[in-house]
């Protein structure tokens, strides 16, 4: 589903954020991406989504190159940043309608999905209000709903559980499992290692832009917790 | 409280025109952008200073040098009033820092006073660059007593107070009215636009009135004196502090004290009033109406381009500052057309004493107003922290840029149509002149729509704290203004320099050049990778 091959990204000023990174995420995977602050998680995710460029390597989504077929890749992807800055001057429903238009979702489908996810996240009654009046958690939920409208094959999330209330966090986990059971893949970065350990069938740990370890969670973790493993790697 | 005012003022003033960011910032791009802005401000200041000195010299030569001081005072007051009208509301009631400040042990009065001090220091610049050269030149030419220099200096520092007071009062009224309404931004835009047009029409009225009274004239010293005196009388009547100032600096101490009182007392009263209602106004501005009772309804589907365009339109009208700064040129176009329609082109040409100037110059005058107004000059920067959204969506560069250009066309074309129709009715022009009047401004509207995108792609600013930083002070905006103005002035000068039919050839060349430039820029814009814009 997602193939990251020898990708490197250096920012202006010489900071090498990602160094020769290779990862493969298959359909059905819930893949956790773990690393310290500034390790290169967000850079990697943004390179996949097409927000930033990268100078070396190749990224393919469902066999399509993100460099050569960016629009086709984006149609298959959904991205939620850690701090979703949305269009504050739109109401929730206007924003969802806007996203649905861009993904060419039919009227009937969008109505059904907006209602479904709006009720699941208990946000429906606030759809008529301006996004500027939403709390951080509500914006997070709205961003999640907008990401689910076009039934993406690959969902990329940056710290998705930050700001979500416990009920919404449970809802999100259930949605993730449901998506993966239908052949989608989820790739998300997190600092909450217990969640990664319980939810993800695969994890990757990145340190200073380089991949340290990746693979099936139970094989990597073995007889210790993910937290213990992470602390060992960090030193 | 004085200590609080001192600390707050220091914090605000240290970053006036981005000084602090230039000093400590590590982002080279941002530093260069701010330096460019500073250089531009310095350049404009020098230009105003030279212009002021020159006018004073010319008037002093014919013996009415003191009127130069009056004119310059009126000019400074009008400038401060016009610019402060836009800024007053956003500076005084800046909600970005309100939460933080009001939670600290600070009195609202200290917050308000420090913000007034910030506005005053910014506007003092106008007073200094215009009045100081005028005063120096007058001093050299008229050789007044020592008290003149002393009183002039005090006067320069007092001058900004009254215009700031008026602008603040009007701005605060607009903000207070709009804060109670659901569609705050729309109300602010409409009220501020009405006031701005009112100020412009008002300033045109008294200058026109002065000229009208002079009747027919050839340019002699006596006629200039008469025109100057009449204009001075008009200004005294409309803005009495100018009379007090003129009398004061030339020896009438009572008049000067009157000028000081009319400057200081209303200012203090306004500060008192604003600080009294400050918390209430900020709270009202803070409040966002939430219903929390939405029920799912039938939704409508649009194409991606239409969806992007609708979103862009909402973004545009969500910012009163953005609308005010980009619509003013188009509104002026309509004001000009209405003026010509009501006054008659022939009468205007009589006053200007250059036959055919209106007919030949009108296409360029309209083009000039269009060139100072494009919404696209800052449309990419206005995405701000939401720029990631556009880049992550399955939309092409062409779709994104087309939607942005369509907003400019939506705003410009209705004003253009109204202006052109009125002018064609009002003016007795040949078929060719009518064609130029239709074609030239339209081509410039297209050019600035495309060029704005080009410049904003090259000079984007996403890390802004206030919209003013991108709408009024960005490099893209400044370059767009400069290039737009020069691109209009050059062919206009050439058209007036040659006789017909050569002027028509210049028009053809201008139209072709603008069209080709538009097409080339449009094609190049669509090749841009959005990821490279950061």
Q: Residues of B with CB below 8 A from A125's CB?
A: 292-295
Evaluate whether B51 touches B72 at the Cβ level (below 8 Å). Answer: no
pLDDT at B196 over 70: no
Q: Do A93 and B294 touch (CB under 8 A)?
A: yes
Q: Residues of A with CB below 8 A from B303's CB?
A: 101
Residue A218 included in any domain = yes
| Residue A212: its H or E element | strand A210-216
pLDDT at A5 over 80: yes
Give the percent of chain B with pLDDT over 70.
86
Question: Considering only alpha carbons, which residue of chain B is nearest residue A116?
Answer: B296
Q: Residues of A with CB below 8 A from B392's CB?
A: 49-51, 74, 77, 79
| E strands, B265-343, in order | none
Instruction: Output the CA torsion sign for A28, A34, A40, A43.
Output: positive
Q: Do B310 and A125 touch (CB under 8 A)?
A: no
- Residue B208: the pLDDT is 46
C-alpha B395/C-alpha B390 separation (Å) is 8
Average pLDDT over residues A200-220: 93
Nearest Cβ partner for A133 among B290, B293, B315? B290
CA distance A170 to chain B (A): 23
Evaluate whether B451 touches B370 at the Cβ level (below 8 Å). Answer: no
Contact with chain A for residue B95, Cβ under 8 A: no
Give the percent of chain B with pLDDT over 90.
34
pLDDT category of residue B202 using cuts at 50, 70 and 90: low
Cα A73 → chain centroid: 14
β-strands A210-216, A202-207: how paired?
Answer: antiparallel
pLDDT in tens, A91-104: 999 999 999 998 89
Q: Do A53 and B315 touch (CB under 8 A)?
A: no
Q: Do B294 and A79 touch (CB under 8 A)?
A: no
pLDDT category of residue B213 using cuts at 50, 70 and 90: very low
What residues are paired with A59 via a beta bridge? A4
| Residue A210: its H or E element | strand A210-216
Residue A219 included in any domain = yes
Nearest Cβ partner for B291 among A89, A102, A128? A128
Domain extent, residue A6, equals 2-84+152-234
Contact with chain A for residue B318, Cβ under 8 A: yes
Average pLDDT over residues B320-341: 89
C-alpha B411/C-alpha B397 separation (Å) is 22
Interface confidence (ipTM) of the complex: 0.79
Residue A177 included in any domain = yes
CA distance B121 to chain A (A): 33
Residue A106 included in any domain = no
Residue A19 included in any domain = yes
Mean pLDDT of chain B: 84
Residue A125 included in any domain = no
Distances (CA, A) of B405 to B71, B154, B376, B380, B415: 40, 49, 6, 11, 16
- Residue B305: the pLDDT is 93
Strand order in the sheet with A56-61: A16-25, A2-10, A56-61, A64-65
Q: Residues of A with CB below 8 A from B532's CB?
A: 53
pLDDT category of residue B204 using cuts at 50, 70 and 90: low
Evaluate whether A1 touches A154 at the Cβ level (below 8 Å). Answer: yes
Give the Cα-Cα-Cα angle B477, B483, B488 (nearest 5 degrees): 125
β-strands A16-25, A202-207: how paired?
Answer: unpaired
pLDDT in tens, B337-387: 998 898 887 777 766 666 677 788 899 999 999 998 899 999 999 999 999
CATH number at residue A67: 3.40.50.300
Contact with chain A for residue B529, Cβ under 8 A: yes
Average pLDDT over residues B468-479: 83
β-strands A2-10, A16-25: how paired?
Answer: antiparallel
pLDDT in tens, B500-515: 778 889 999 999 999 9
CA distance A38 to chain B (A): 18
- Residue A59: the pLDDT is 96
Nearest Cα neighbor of A184 from A62, A66, A50 is A62
- Residue B209: the pLDDT is 45
C-alpha B226/C-alpha B260 separation (Å) is 29
pLDDT in tens, B271-316: 888 888 888 777 776 666 667 788 888 888 999 999 999 999 999 9
Q: Would you list the domain boundaries of chain B?
A: 2-11+27-286, 304-532
C-alpha B393/C-alpha B401 separation (Å) is 14
User: Phi and psi at residue A31, in whole multiples of 5°?
Assistant: -110, 120
Evaluate whether A92 touches A126 at the Cβ level (below 8 Å). Answer: yes
Evaluate whether B366 touches B437 at the Cβ level (below 8 Å). Answer: yes
Q: Do B392 and A51 touch (CB under 8 A)?
A: yes
- Residue B289: the pLDDT is 62
Residue A101 included in any domain = no
């Amino acid at each position: 589903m997602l193939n990251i091959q020898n990708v490197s990204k250096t920012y202006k000023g010489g900071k090498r954020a990602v160094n020769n990174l290779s990862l493969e995420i298959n359909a059905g995977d819930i893949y956790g991406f773990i690393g310290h602050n500034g390790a290169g998680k967000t850079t990697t995710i943004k390179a996949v989504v097409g927000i930033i460029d990268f100078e070396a390597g190749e990224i393919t989504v469902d066999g399509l190159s993100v460099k050569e077929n960016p629009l086709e890749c984006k149609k298959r992807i959904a991205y939620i940043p850690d701090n979703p800055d949305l269009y504050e001057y739109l109401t929730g429903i206007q924003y969802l309608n806007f996203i649905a238009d861009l993904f060419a979702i039919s009227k009937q489908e969008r109505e059904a999905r907006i209602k479904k996810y709006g009720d699941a996240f208990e946000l429906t009654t606030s759809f008529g209000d301006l996004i500027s009046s939403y709390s951080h958690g509500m914006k997070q939920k709205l961003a999640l709903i907008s990401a689910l409208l076009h039934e993406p094959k690959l969902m990329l999330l940056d710290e998705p559980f930050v700001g979500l209330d416990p009920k919404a966090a449970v809802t999100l986990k259930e949605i993730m499992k449901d998506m993966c059971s239908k052949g989608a893949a989820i790739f998300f970065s997190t600092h909450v290692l217990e969640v990664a350990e319980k939810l993800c069938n695969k994890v990757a740990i990145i340190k200073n832009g380089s991949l340290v370890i990746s693979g099936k969670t139970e094989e990597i973790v073995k007889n210790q917790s993910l937290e213990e493993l992470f602390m060992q790697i960090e030193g | 409280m004085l200590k609080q005012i001192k600390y707050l003022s220091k914090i605000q003033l240290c970053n006036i025109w981005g000084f602090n960011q230039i000093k400590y910032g590590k982002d080279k791009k941002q530093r260069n952008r701010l330096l460019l802005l500073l250089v531009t401000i310095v350049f404009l200041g020098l230009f105003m200073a030279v212009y002021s000195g020159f006018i004073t010299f010319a008037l002093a030569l014919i013996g009415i040098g003191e009127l130069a001081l009056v004119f310059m005072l009126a000019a400074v007051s009008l400038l401060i009033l016009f610019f402060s009208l836009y800024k007053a509301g956003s500076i005084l009631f800046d909600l970005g820092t309100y939460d933080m400040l009001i939670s600290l042990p600070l009195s609202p009065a200290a917050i308000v006073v420090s913000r007034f001090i910030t506005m005053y220091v910014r506007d003092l610049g106008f007073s200094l660059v215009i009045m100081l050269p005028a005063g120096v030149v007058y001093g050299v030419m008229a050789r007044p007593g020592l008290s003149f220099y002393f009183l002039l200096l005090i006067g320069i520092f007092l001058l900004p107070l009254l215009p700031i007071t008026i602008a603040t009062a009007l701005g605060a009224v607009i903000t207070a009215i709009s804060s109670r309404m659901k569609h705050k931004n729309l109300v602010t835009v409409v009220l501020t636009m009405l006031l701005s047009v009112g100020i412009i029409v008002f300033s045109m009225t008294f200058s026109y009135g002065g000229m009208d009274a002079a009747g027919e004239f050839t340019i002699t010293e006596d006629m200039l004196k008469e025109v100057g005196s009449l204009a001075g009388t008009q200004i005294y009547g409309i803005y009495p502090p100018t009379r007090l100032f003129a009398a004061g600096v030339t020896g009438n101490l009572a008049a000067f004290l009157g000028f000081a009182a009319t400057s200081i007392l209303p200012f203090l009263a306004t500060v008192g009033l604003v600080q009294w209602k400050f918390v209430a106004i900020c709270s009202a501005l803070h409040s966002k109406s939430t219903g929390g009772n939405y029920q799912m309804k039938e939704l409508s589907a649009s194409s991606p381009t239409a969806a992007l365009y609708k979103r862009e339109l909402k973004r545009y009208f969500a910012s009163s500052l953005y609308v005010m700064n980009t619509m003013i040129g188009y509104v002026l176009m309509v004001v000009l057309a209405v003026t010509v329609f009501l006054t008659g082109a022939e009468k205007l040409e009589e006053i200007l004493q250059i036959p055919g100037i209106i007919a030949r110059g009108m296409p360029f005058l309209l083009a000039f107003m269009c060139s100072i107004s494009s919404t696209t000059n800052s449309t990419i920067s206005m995405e701000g922290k939401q720029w990631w959204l556009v880049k992550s969506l399955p939309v092409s560069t062409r779709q994104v840029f087309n939607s942005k250009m369509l907003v400019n066309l939506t705003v410009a074309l209705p004003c253009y149509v109204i202006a052109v129709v009125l002018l064609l009715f009002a003016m007795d022009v040949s078929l060719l002149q009518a064609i130029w009047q239709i074609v030239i401004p339209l081509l410039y509207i297209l050019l600035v729509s495309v060029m704005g995108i080009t410049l904003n792609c090259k000079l984007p600013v996403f890390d802004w704290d206030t919209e003013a930083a991108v709408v009024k002070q960005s490099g893209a905006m400044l370059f767009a203004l400069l290039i737009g103005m020069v691109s209009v002035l050059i062919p206009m000068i050439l058209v007036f320099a040659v006789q017909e039919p050569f002027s028509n050839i210049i028009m053809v060349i201008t139209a072709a050049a603008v069209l080709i430039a538009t097409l080339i820029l449009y094609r190049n814009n669509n090749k841009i990778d959005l990821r490279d814009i950061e």
